[in-house]
Amino acid sequence: MMTGKTAKRDDLRVVVMGAGMAGILSGIKLREAGFSNTVIYEKAARVGGTWRENTYPGLTCDVPSHAYTYSFEPNPDWSYMLPPGAEVQDYFERTAKKYKIDEMIRFNEEIIRCEFKNGRWHLDMKSGLHDEADIVIAATGVLHHPSLPTIPGLDKFQGTMFHSSRWDHSVPLDGRRIGVIGNGSTGVQLICALAGRAAKVQHFQRTAQWIMPVENTPFTEEQKAAFRADRALLHSVQNDATYLANVERFTNAVADATSPEIAQIEAIVLDNLEQSVADPVLREKLRPNYRAACKRLIFSPSYYSAIQHPDAELVTDGIECIEATGIRTRDGRLHALDLLVLATGFKADQFMRPMNVVGRNGVKLNDVWAKRPNAYLAVAIPEFPNFFMLNGPTGPVGNFSLIDVAEQQWGYIAQLIERLRSGASQEIAVTQSAMDTYEQARLAAAKNTIFASGCNSWYLDAEGVPASWPWSYGRFKEAMAAPQLDAFGLKA
């Protein structure tokens, strides 16, 4: 066994799970750091993750485009303040090609088992391929396992039906009768895209959403030319002070349900509802019965106008069942449909599962996460040495850039894997006591957040406790600046 700081390892095998945003980032940073024995396994045929999976009409990133960009790879050619999904996917594909990350990727290889044995990770693919690694980086994403509703008769519908993340572009939309179930960001964006295009579009709403008004202004050709010509200007737009202040303000707001910042957000969204919806009956149907930001806040420039289109209808009577020709609501009405879209979100608690991940001494991830998925600072799990996550459980998931989150997490992880390469440590795993201390503090803080103020959302775990980062953005940055090594077992 190698011991001591002189036993440097330049041949460490690193496996990255997934070639979405975080996987591409990992590949770039590993190559920059000189890790040449690296492979990225991707279950699909292309990079992009959620932006590859989702192609529905109206798909738009709700984070400003220049903020939803790698810090080291600015893009002067974004077309809008909030970029369309196809542009985001193209950005990731171009970035992967530019940095030659596609050369590191094994496409169409789905990992089904990852087990730590004899000091190394052993990985098995669905194809039968086997690999071994010294370090594993789980960049599997959060929103990639579609969640299907349990509605009686779902299999009886004789029209066309699919989940929003499995959009069939061969299906015509113009002049059709379209129903959309689900009114998170996806459902809202779909209604905005379909109203006025479909003969009739019906939005089946179970719970009303607060809508934050936002302008999606296009960048002019002059602006884009200026960005191309002046790297400093482009960098300043990436690091826009107003946006960064809004991020800090928003995280302060959600972290404290009694804060003046959340009161300000509530006033804005309430005014948006009151001023945007003329019909008092419709306005009341659109009025949530919970506090703003308890669910993930919806940013939309046009939903209220779209749902008031003559060919659009908000349906709030509740779904009784689905029949061959449409949806029957609890008032007895049959809503005839040609196309039914399930904008019902994702299983946000899965992460790398259903992959079987087994740590030291046969500890199974499914057992560790039986109560709730958790990880120390969202990046590490006890008894899973040399295994690190980007955008793992209890991380900052909200209305700001997950690219920024992943980059900061990478800075933290990079310091740990450098210890492995230098020979200072052979195995690094967070201790159970550090995990318990973190989780105890996180759970206590989570109960004071706006997410715990009385609504159902995908932020909540099976016990109704918010599963996200419960503190400010500033505190997250501080935590990611450098690992507290006494929180880790550092096996030499």
Domains and CATH numbers, the chain: 14-145+347-491 (3.50.50.60), 154-342 (no CATH)
Helix (H) or strand (E) holding 98: helix 85-98
pLDDT band at 399 (very low <50, low <70, confident <90, very high): low
Average model confidence (pLDDT) across the chain? 94
Q: Determine the Cα–Cα distance for residues 33 and 30; give it in Å rounded to an integer.
A: 5
Tell me the C-alpha distance between 9 and 16, whole Å: 18
The per-residue pLDDT for 467 is: 86
What is the phi/psi pair of residue 402, to 5°?
-70, -15
Q: Is 278 exposed, middle or buried (0-12, 13-18, 19+ CB in 10 A)?
A: exposed
Own/partner contacts of 164-172, CB < 8 Å, gap of 24 or more, are 164/54, 164/56, 164/190, 164/341, 164/342, 164/343, 164/344, 165/50, 165/53, 165/54, 165/56, 165/346, 166/53, 167/54, 167/55, 167/56, 167/57, 169/55, 171/339
Those residues whose C-beta lies under 8 Å from the C-beta of residue 255, and which sit 6 or more positions away, are: 445, 448, 449, 450, 470, 471, 472
pLDDT category of residue 371 using cuts at 50, 70 and 90:
confident
Better-predicted residue by pLDDT, 473 or 221: 221
The pLDDT value recorded for residue 67 is 94
Q: What is the pLDDT confidence band of residue 4, given thresholds at 50, 70 and 90?
A: very low
What CA–CA distance (Å, rounded) separates 212 from 296? 11
Rounded distance between C-alpha atoms, residue 421 and residue 376, angstroms? 22
Q: Where are the alpha helices (DSSP H) in 207-361?
A: 221-229, 231-238, 241-255, 260-276, 280-285, 303-307
What are the tens digits of pLDDT across the range 436-460?
Answer: 999 999 999 999 999 999 888 877 8
- Is the predicted pLDDT of residue 362 greater than 60, yes or no? yes
pLDDT range class, residue 160, cuts 50, 70, 90:
very high
pLDDT digits (tens, 9 = 90+) for 24-76: 999 999 999 999 999 999 999 999 999 999 999 999 999 999 999 999 999 99
Q: What is the pLDDT of residues 471-489, one digit of tens each?
A: 988 899 999 999 999 999 9
Joined together, the tokens standing for residue 282 give 């419709």
- If pLDDT is split at 50, 70 and 90, which confidence band does 6 have? very low
Residue 7 pLDDT:
61
Query: 146 or 16: which carries more pLDDT confidence?
Result: 16
Backbone angles phi, psi at 430, to 5 degrees: -65, 140
- Contact criterion met (CB below 8 Å) for 114 and 355: yes
Q: 22 exposed, middle or buried (CB, 10 Å; 0-12, 13-18, 19+)?
A: buried
Q: Is the peptide bond before 354 cis (omega within 30 degrees of 0)?
A: yes
Q: Mean pLDDT, to the nearest integer, of 95-100? A: 98
Q: Positive or negative CA dihedral for 30, 32, 38, 39?
A: positive
pLDDT for residue 398: 67
Question: Sorting pLDDT into bands at 50, 70 and 90, what band is 117?
Answer: very high
Span 420-438, pLDDT tens digits: 999 999 999 999 999 999 9
How confident is the model over 228-284, as pLDDT tens digits?
999 999 999 999 888 888 888 898 898 999 999 999 999 999 999 999 999 999 999
The whole model's pTM is what? 0.95
CB atoms within 10 A of CB 227: 22
| Whole-number Å distance between alpha carbons of 420 and 414 | 10
pLDDT score of 348: 65
Q: Is the pLDDT of residue 127 over 90?
A: yes
Residue 1: predicted pLDDT: 34
Percent of the chain residues past pLDDT 90, beyond the cut: 85
Query: Looking at residue 398, what DSSP letter applies?
Result: S
For residue 341, the model assigns a pLDDT of 98
**Residues in CB range of 101: below 8 A, 6 or more apart:** 19, 24, 27, 28, 31, 40, 47, 95
Radius of gyration of the chain (CA): 23
